[in-house]
Amino acid sequence: MSPDAHGRPPSYARVSLAIMTSGREANLLGNIHGGEIVKLADSTAGAVAQRHSGGPAVTAALDEMAFLEPVHVGDIVRTFGQVNWAGRSSMEIGVRVEAQPWNDPSTTGLHVASAYFVFVAIDEDGHAREVPALLPETPKEVRRMREAEIRRAHRLARRAEIESGRAGT
Ligand SMILES: CC(C)(COP(=O)(O)OP(=O)(O)OC[C@H]1O[C@@H](n2cnc3c(N)ncnc32)[C@H](O)[C@@H]1OP(=O)(O)O)[C@@H](O)C(=O)NCCC(=O)NCCS
C-alpha cells in the first residue's frame, strides 16, 4: 500500500514564501499593489497543491481575499499556505500573508491579507485527477476543514444557481 493511500496531514504540504518589496511593485499611492500580493499568495498555494497532490495542479478559483492593512515599499512579505480541505480532485488552500519592515526585526509580522484558493490536480491531458485525502491532526486543522466545507458548499451552490439562471434566459 502506498504511503499516500490513507491521505496526508496539512503539515506535509505546508509552504512559506517571502519577498522583499521594492518600488517596482508599488501602486500610484506608493504602497504595494494588491495584485502583487495575490500573485505571491497564488504561487504559495500552487506549491502547496503540487506537494499535497504529488503533481501538477491549477488554480480553479480564488475567493475571499481580504486585504487588512497596506503593505509598504521595503516590507518583507511572507506567506504561509496549507491545505484546508481535499476532495476528489480539488483542494482548498488557505494562505496567510504577513508584512514586516525590512530593517526592523523587533516588530512581529503584521497580518495584511488572507485568501482561500481552490486548486484542481490535473493529469498530462489537463483532466482532473484524484488527490490524497486530507488527514487533519489538530483541533485547529479540524476547524479549518469544517469551515472549508462550508465555503465549498457555498461556492458550488452559487455556481449552480448562476448556471441554472443562465440556462433559463
Ligand atoms: C480547473 C479545471 C481543471 C476543472 O475542470 P472541470 O472539467 O471543471 O473539472 P470537474 O468538473 O471534474 O471538477 C473538478 C473539481 O474541481 C472543482 N471545481 C471546479 N471549478 C470550481 C470552482 N470554480 N469552484 C470550486 N470548485 C471547483 C469541482 O467541484 C471538482 O471537485 P472534486 O473533484 O474535488 O469534487 C478546468 O476548469 C481548468 O483547466 N481551468 C483552467 C485552470 C487554469 O488554467 N488556471 C490558471 C489560471 S490562468
Establish whether residue 90 lines the binding site of ligand 1, counting it when its CB lies within 6 angstroms of any ligand atom.
Answer: yes
Look at residue 4 in the predicted model and tell me its pLDDT. Answer: 65
| CA–centroid distance for 25 within its chain | 21
52 within some domain = yes
> Whats the size of the chain, residue-wise?
169
In this structure, what C-alpha cell is assigned to residue 57? Answer: 495542479
Look at residue 3 in the predicted model and tell me its pLDDT. Answer: 46
Give the DSSP H or E segment for 114. strand 110-121
27 within some domain = yes
Establish whether residue 26 lines the binding site of ligand 1, counting it when its CB lies within 6 angstroms of any ligand atom.
Answer: no
* Distance from residue 60's CA to the centre of ligand 1 (Å): 5
| Residue-range definition of the domain harbouring residue 67 | 10-167
Establish whether residue 34 lines the binding site of ligand 1, counting it when its CB lies within 6 angstroms of any ligand atom.
Answer: no
Establish whether residue 62 lines the binding site of ligand 1, counting it when its CB lies within 6 angstroms of any ligand atom.
Answer: no
- Chunked into runs of 10 residues, the chain (169 residues) has average pLDDT values of 74 97 94 96 98 98 90 96 98 97 89 97 97 98 97 94 89
Start-end of H helices in 31-82: 34-53
99 within some domain = yes
The secondary structure of 68-125 as a DSSP string is: -S--BTTEEEEEEEEEEEE-SSEEEEEEEEEEEETT-TTSPPEEEEEEEEEEEEB-TT
* Distance from residue 76's CA to the centre of ligand 1 (Å): 33
38 within some domain = yes
Count structural domains, the chain: 1
Q: What is the CATH number of the domain that holds 70?
A: 3.10.129.10
5 within some domain = no
3 within some domain = no
**Per-residue CA distances from 18 to 94, 145, 165 (Å):** 16, 25, 42
